[in-house]
Amino acid sequence: MSSRKCPFHARVSETEDQLVQSLGDKLHHCSTEVLKNRPTFRVGISGGSLVQLLTRALISRKIDTTNWKFFFCDERYVPDDDAESTFNAYRTEMNAKLPNIVESQLIKADTALSLDACACDYAARIIDEFGSSCPIFDLLLLGMGPDGHTCSLFPGRSEFQIHAEQLVIPIRDSPKPPPERITFTLTLINNANDVVFVVTGARRTPVTKPNSNDVCTQTDQLPMLPCGICNEKFLNILELRLHRSRQHMKTEELKCRLCGEQFQKLRQLRNHLTEQHDQKSPDSPLLRRRLECRVCQREFSRRDHLIRHMRKVHDVPRQQELEAAAPWTPNDETTMQSGDELESAAVLFNDPAVCSDNENNESGYQCNTTNPISSNEDSGDDEVHAEAKESLWLHIKPEPEAELEPELEAEAEAEVEQVNRDRRKKKTNSKVAAHTDAEEELEDVSKQKPASSSFSTEVKEEPLAAGGEQQLSIKQERQRADSIKVDEDYEMEAATADLFHSADEEEDADEESELDEEDDEAENEEEANAEFDEDNPKLTQVEIVREYLQKPTKGKQRRRRRKQTQSETEANPENRCDVCLRTFSRHCHLLRHKLSHLEKKPHSCPHCPKAFARSDHLKAHVQSLHGNKEHKCSLCDAAFTRADALDRHKMSKHNGEGLDASNELKLQMSEHTCEYCSKRFSSKTYLRKHTLLHTEFLYACKSCDETFKERQQLRSHEKTHTGQRNFLCCICGDSFARNDYLRVHMRRHNGEKPYKCRYCIKAFPRATDLKVHERYHTDTKPNLCNTCGKSFHRAYNLTIHMRTHTGERPYKCDQCPKSFSQSNDLKAHIRRHTGERYKCPHCDAYFLQLYHMRNHCLSAHNKHIETKTGRLQRTGLLDEPNNSHLTTVVMPPARYQQSTPDPQPMATVTTQLPAAIATPIMHSPVAYSTTSPVPVQVPVPVSVAVPLSNASGFVGATTNATSTTATAPFGTFSIAPVVMAHLMYNHGGNSQQSNASK
């Protein structure tokens, strides 16, 4: 659980109804997404004004909460039926308005226990529910008091900073009554997948105004973006776009780029363009379908499409095609020729070579007009604009900094590369065997080149007989080799760029690599054409572009690509990225690569916070993640926008079940099988990442952390997990398969630690221990999850992680129905049954987990608890009775043993544990102060960086919602929370009581 600074997304609603609606949307979206993959949606809820807002949101959005579990982010330490109890407030509200929610869905704290025990017990309940000591909430709904407090964490206080290692802590003297509470810590909050602050009332405005000294005020500088159609304001363009597409899909304004006038309807804009600017209406046949085939009268929006059509359908020779399309002059403002695309690409990529080439290009022209319809930046995802975009956008010459449409972008890159290649020209020296597919391809290509074409080259005219074939094949093979190198480049880029991406990202990555492949294919194709060009050095740039337009279909390219084999093509030092110094074999790849260095990826998804360097990637992302998911998996509930995504899913999640044997993906997967362990992958990228584990890294034993350079070593090692163990330790009786293992084992008894860490003072008895330890210093995580791409330092951690995908909980408690994914959690849980606790050697604090005790010793007493071996799990607690910290104490009976709280055991707790399961709070040298104006110093570093702001830090903001930006009053969050605020509306009371009585 770490922390990092994150901006907040703020959404300020005009009315409380709007706020409720936003909240409902968020809840619906979030829960639906989670429940697609998991059986339970776990949400943490706060009290105060949220009680009613949440109920209203659930009702108004008619959200099915059957599979929800509600946890309380904080609770007042009062009896369950007290009017101040958050649980009680929800119970009352839900009983009356949401009868479908049953009490067992509310995971509540046991306030019948002592305050400390209550906090401890609630943390344990949460751990039990999650089956993990590191619970990750799907969503937390937090409120924020006028003083800036959230949950029961109050600004200017220290406890939540000190107890960063705890999940739930007791609060003793809350400035807001009642004084005693329990609350989630920032550690637990930060671990959530999503956090939403729901803030209402003018009195909260100041606390949502950042303090200039507060480190988490990245949002401070940002002006709020007004919607323009309604009065809602947003902190960033993504939120705004999302809002626009959701709320104003039908009525989004349309803006005339020529005079700036805005319209509500596309029709109005069309009329305006025709009447005011003498422009043809965007959907007028003249503009939209202005290119007509003179043979069959079919209309085209693009000249190259028309040319291709004429060539393919009517077999019109090239020269005639060009003549046919001649009226379509470059001076046409609303259209753009390929040459212009090239120029644009050159400008975009700032490629002097291309720019200068273009200077001499007689057909180069300057189009100063941009799309009269709002740019895609404005209209983004708006369906209303789709038509306009289709008809106009692709043909408008983009301004240098504007984004290129995917198709243009790919083509433009290709053109740039073509010119570059033309400059580089030459150096064919490879000699390879003839390739039937290549021949086929070349045959296609040559067929496409009519005899009269000005682009005909000697190659075209050569008969496709033996000699010619030979020559052609050689060229073709060169092209293949080049493209393979490119694949490698990109795949390695993908692999290194994003080692830890999420499942969704993987999906994107897949798509991206697919897109790359497609682009590569296009480029390969050009290259095939370029082979012809090379024989005709006099080709002009325009001609090159025309050549390019003759590229064969993607299908063929793909087929050909699949047959390609490994190549040794060298990266060209001329194509070196000046930012990261990577070298590319081809210039166009360098250009494309440079996009990845853009600080802000230019193509933002209008539906989610993702941004892409390339617009085609964005397009694919939107299509795959935000489109209609009509391709449903027959084997589970998953659904996808694209059939190929469904296939991939079937392959990865159901091992190809449901796909027929001839399925391309299935075949492809068999192509991506790891030669070391036979695992199959959907893409070469993943296989490559995975293979690193075997090659560059190590052969890892599945049963322990041991790793080997040689497969043979691993094999002989693996036998030790199954074979006989004839070498016995005379001290502890442990047995080993090999004498050298026993020798190493003896170090545990004699304390010898020959393996010293290069980065810190630690030393280890085994080389493996050191190796694993050093991975933490070097951040080497060789254990890769092939389901979601996460990787881990230790093999064991991967094993545990895999259980989050499989839902496996192999550690079952034999005294109750609980089960756990990790043995440690089970052990801690069993201690709840047995009453055993780790006792702090320095004070009377007791802990279920050694880890917690250790943290306590460090934070409360500044003392390290030494382990015997350096291995965290084996600390010799019980095996060394005199030195053991594991103490048996009498605890309240575990809650499974009885359904109602038993007052008697409570008494036992208070009498036997005077400091009542003392958490460090009892022993902290730091005194609590409600008035402390400055952050209280803690004696040791804590894992969550929490810059404290005191309440006064928030003073001075206006109550005007328009000037409001949001920030956390007390710290950094590792997720970017959303602040949903309705600040103009003063909700009034702060207490449950006042809410309940409303």
Ligand X SMILES: O=C1O[C@H](COP(=O)(O)O)[C@@H](O)[C@H](O)[C@H]1O
Subset of residues 460 to 519 that bind ligand X, contact rule: CB under 6 A: none
Residue 48 or 131 having the CB closest to ligand X: 48
The DSSP secondary-structure symbol of 914 reads T
Tokens 């110093």 correspond to 937
Tokens representing 26?
């968020």
Q: Using the rule CB under 6 A, which residue among 22, 479, 668, 990 binds ligand X?
A: 990
Q: Using the rule CB under 6 A, which residue among 3, 22, 46, 585 binds ligand X?
A: 46
Whole-angstrom Cα distance, residue 789 to residue 495?
Answer: 10
Residue 89 or 588 having the CB closest to ligand X: 89
Where does this chain touch ligand X (CB under 6 A) — which range of 45-53, 472-480, 880-888, 926-934?
45-53
Residue 140 or 416 having the CB closest to ligand X: 140
Distance of CA 475 to the CA centre of its chain: 42
Q: Using the rule CB under 6 A, which residue among 47, 155, 835, 971 binds ligand X?
A: 47
Where does this chain touch ligand X (CB under 6 A) — which range of 142-150, 796-804, 841-849, 912-920?
142-150
Subset of residues 49 to 88 that bind ligand X, contact rule: CB under 6 A: 49-50, 74
Name residue 640's beta-bridge partners: 631
Distance of CA 182 to the CA centre of its chain: 32
Nearest to 397 by CA among 339, 356, 358, 353: 339
Subset of residues 162 to 191 that bind ligand X, contact rule: CB under 6 A: 176
Task: Find the shortest distance in angstroms from Cβ 73 to ligand X.
Answer: 6
Subset of residues 362 to 381 that bind ligand X, contact rule: CB under 6 A: none
Residue 144 or 913 having the CB closest to ligand X: 144
Residue 994, CA distances (Å) to 47, 498, 786, 987 in order: 12, 49, 52, 10
Residue 181 or 449 having the CB closest to ligand X: 181
Where does this chain touch ligand X (CB under 6 A) — which range of 150-158, 311-319, 352-360, 544-552?
150-158
Contact code string over 856-885 relative to ligand X, x by CB under 6 A:
------------------------------
Q: Using the rule CB under 6 A, which residue among 143, 339, 364, 969 binds ligand X?
A: 143
Residue 107 or 692 having the CB closest to ligand X: 107
Tokens 């030195």 correspond to 883
Residue 8 or 741 having the CB closest to ligand X: 8
Residue with the shortest CB distance to ligand X: 48
Question: What single letter denotes the amino acid at residue 288?
Answer: R
Residue 89 or 287 having the CB closest to ligand X: 89
Using only C-alpha atoms, what is the Rg of the chain? 33
Nearest to 258 by CA among 337, 368, 386: 368
Residue 74 or 341 having the CB closest to ligand X: 74
Task: Find the shortest distance in angstroms from Cβ 665 to ligand X.
Answer: 48
Residue 111 found at the interface with ligand X (CB under 6 A): no
Neighbours of 61 (CB within 10 A): 18
Whole-angstrom Cα distance, residue 378 to residue 270?
Answer: 17
Task: Find the shortest distance in angstroms from Cβ 160 to ligand X.
Answer: 14
Task: Find the shortest distance in angstroms from Cβ 935 to ligand X.
Answer: 21
Tokens 């590319």 correspond to 584
Where does this chain touch ligand X (CB under 6 A) — which range of 42-50, 54-62, 132-140, 885-893?
42-50
Residue 765 found at the interface with ligand X (CB under 6 A): no
Tokens representing 480?
């293949």
Residue 142 or 860 having the CB closest to ligand X: 142
Q: Using the rule CB under 6 A, which residue among 7, 44, 48, 398 binds ligand X?
A: 48
Tokens 């209402």 correspond to 200
Subset of residues 828 to 847 that bind ligand X, contact rule: CB under 6 A: none
Residue 44 found at the interface with ligand X (CB under 6 A): no
Residue 176 or 649 having the CB closest to ligand X: 176
The answer to whether the beta carbons of residues 56 and 49 sit under 8 Å apart is no
- Name the maximum alpha-carbon separation found in the chain: 104
Helix (H, G, I), strand (E, B) or coil at 45: strand
Whole-angstrom Cα distance, residue 764 to residue 770?
Answer: 6
Considering CB under 6 A, how many residues would be counted as binding ligand X?
Answer: 15
Residue 47 or 156 having the CB closest to ligand X: 47
The answer to whether the beta carbons of residues 696 and 709 sit under 8 Å apart is no
Residue 97, CA distances (Å) to 26, 54, 55 in order: 20, 11, 7
Q: Mark 888-908 as b/e (b = at least 16 C-beta within 10 Å).
A: ebebbbbbeeeeebeeebbeb
Task: Find the shortest distance in angstroms from Cβ 90 to ligand X.
Answer: 11
Tokens representing 609?
């916070």
Where does this chain touch ligand X (CB under 6 A) — which range of 146-154, 554-562, 619-627, 848-856?
146-154
Q: Give the contacts of 822 (CB within 8 A, at least 6 positions apart).
A: 132, 133, 800, 811
Task: Find the shortest distance in angstroms from Cβ 159 to ligand X.
Answer: 15
Task: Find the shortest distance in angstroms from Cβ 8 to ligand X.
Answer: 16
Whole-angstrom Cα distance, residue 304 to residue 665?
Answer: 32
Q: Using the rule CB under 6 A, which residue among 24, 44, 135, 145 binds ligand X?
A: 145
Q: DSSP of 214-243, one letter per residue?
A: -TT-GGGGPPPEE-SSSS-EESSHHHHHHH
Q: Tell me the CA end-to-end span of the chain in Å, nearest whole number.
A: 39
Tokens 């059986």 correspond to 39
* Binding footprint of ligand X on the chain (CB under 6 A): 46-50, 74, 142-145, 150-152, 176, 990
